[in-house]
Amino acid sequence: MTCPITNLAKQLISIPSISPMDLGCQKIISDRLINSGFSIEYMNYGSTNNIWAYRGKGTTLAFSGHTDVVPSGKYENWKFPPFVPTIYNGYLFGRGSADMKGAIAAMIIAIEQFVKQYPNHIGRLAILITSDEEAKAIHGTKKIVENLIKNKETIDYCVVGEPSSVKSLGDVIKNGRRGSLTAHLSIYGKQGHIAYPHLADNPIHNVLSFLVRLISINWDPGDAFFPPTSLQIYKIQSGINNSNNIIPDRLLVKFNLRFGSLTTIDIIKSRVQSLLIDCNLKYSIKWKLSGKPFITKSGLLISVVQNVIQDVCGITPKLLTTGGTSDGRFIAELGSQILELGLVNKTIHQSNECVKISDLKLLSYIYKCIIEKLLLAN
């Protein structure tokens, strides 16, 4: 006999909703929420499906999740077919089991049980679900939040169901994420014959001292919430048609910074620019911001979640801001207290992605306790 959480997770995993396709996952979710008395707003953009669902009035606790998954990779690397959810040895296998259809199932069952037990609950319970988190994330939570801001909606507390746990369920919760800023830098020189370098200007030679200085910058030491800001060069490209006798006229460098709250976007841009000028380079630079840093330093949400995990799992969760960006960066625009709490992330985006079935049940119970503490207490 499988439990309702596992059943729902299996139902969702069997749909190959590779980002940004939803392929009906959200229909299953919204049908259940409607049954529990939720109002649903559908916010679809291009091939992305989004839902914003809510029940009740007042102080709002929202859950956030995504129904899209990353591609499975080679089928032969999987013990069981990635879109045929399979239970083996106490684990549920399948693409999205940990990231994050399992957590969505845990949320939905927690919400259903809560509503059944407290049909006249105080406050508003909400959920926002997108199918565009894993890839571009342009039509997903970003759009939902834009709509919420336009409609003057507020979210007081938000629990993002991303797989935050590392070794055991609840050992890590994320109370923020670093910002991510990418630069595409072009360095210009003058093309010429390699045998006549005095008639050319080699951008490869010119950029070297700049790059050494760029990677040697100590941006900041980090603080209580964020690790030190780091910069990584991930692409350098130059040369003309593989030719071994031409000095090229340009070079492209791409680099990315992960930054906390001590180093602002303006500081980064101006330090890079002064260094370019100092190194006498002819350049142009384009910046792309994927997300500003966000942090929930303290507040009721953190204390409630920490206490619930302590009670249910008997451990004190670590608060971390490591890892890539998350949809929390968009929700942060609403000024909400935000935490990420989800399943163990050991196998996410890998072949043989899986979760412990007992963790699914435990997570759902934790989510329900969080709802009770936040909505029944006010």
User: Is 153 an active-site residue?
Assistant: no
Complex with Zn ion: residue 36 or 322, whichever CB lies closer = 322
Q: Which one of residues 100, 160, 339, 369 is an interface residue with Zn ion (CB under 5 A)? A: 100
**Burial, 300: exposed, middle or buried (Cβ in 10 Å; 0-12, 13-18, 19+)?**
middle
99 marked as binding residue: yes
Q: Which stretch binds Zn ion (CB under 5 A): 34-42, 99-107, 250-258, 307-315?
A: 99-107
User: Is 133 an active-site residue?
Assistant: yes
Given 133, 153, 353, 359, which residue is catalytic? 133
Cα separation, 42 vs 54, in Å, equals 12
Cα separation, 249 vs 251, in Å, equals 7
- What is the β-pairing status of strands 179-188 and 157-160? unpaired
Answer yes or no whether residue 214 interacts with Zn ion by CB under 5 A: no
Structure tokens at 44: 């679809």
* Residue 172 burial (CB count, 10 A): 22
Q: Which stretch binds Zn ion (CB under 5 A): 35-43, 92-100, 135-143, 247-255?
A: 92-100
Answer yes or no whether residue 353 interacts with Zn ion by CB under 5 A: no
**Burial, 134: exposed, middle or buried (Cβ in 10 Å; 0-12, 13-18, 19+)?**
buried
Answer yes or no whether residue 172 interacts with Zn ion by CB under 5 A: no
Site for Zn ion in 104-163 (CB under 5 A): 162
Cα separation, 304 vs 40, in Å, equals 27
- What is the β-pairing status of strands 192-193 and 246-247? antiparallel
Q: How far is the CB of 331 from Zn ion (least distance, A)?
A: 14
Q: Which one of residues 22, 68, 99, 340 is an interface residue with Zn ion (CB under 5 A)? A: 99
Q: How far is the CB of 324 from Zn ion (least distance, A)?
A: 10
Could you list the active site residues? 68, 133
Question: Which residue positions form the known binding site for Zn(2+)?
Answer: 66, 99, 134, 162, 349
Binding site for Zn ion (CB under 5 A): 99-100, 162
